[in-house]
Amino acid sequence: MFLCQHCLPRPIPAEEVHHEIPVNTDPSRRLDLTNLNSLCKTCHSRITAMQHPLRKVCL
């Protein structure tokens, strides 16, 4: 089980993976472990909304 990297030290299970460098920016890094963060759904939605303010995110 992976934990949300933004919720640490609280042990919240990670449900999603966030690409620090988006796949559409650099597809070659989509599976690069140094480009991935394990996050809970809440944190991933928050980060995505901040990075893409015009994109509609389902919460």
pLDDT in tens, 17-48: 999 999 999 999 999 999 999 999 999 999 98
3-state secondary structure of 39: strand
* Spatial separation of the C-alpha atoms in residues 36 and 34, rounded to whole Å: 6
What is residue 14's predicted lDDT score, i.e. its pLDDT?
98
pLDDT at 52: 76
pTM of structure: 0.78
Residue 30, pLDDT score = 95
Contact by Cβ (8 Å): 35, 21: yes
Torsion of CA 45, 46, 50, 52, to 10 degrees: 10
> Element (H or E) spanning 49, and its range?
helix 41-51
More confident site: 49 or 12: 12
d(Cα 51, Cα 12) in Å, to the nearest integer?
22
> In the predicted model, what is the mean pLDDT of residues 10-17?
97
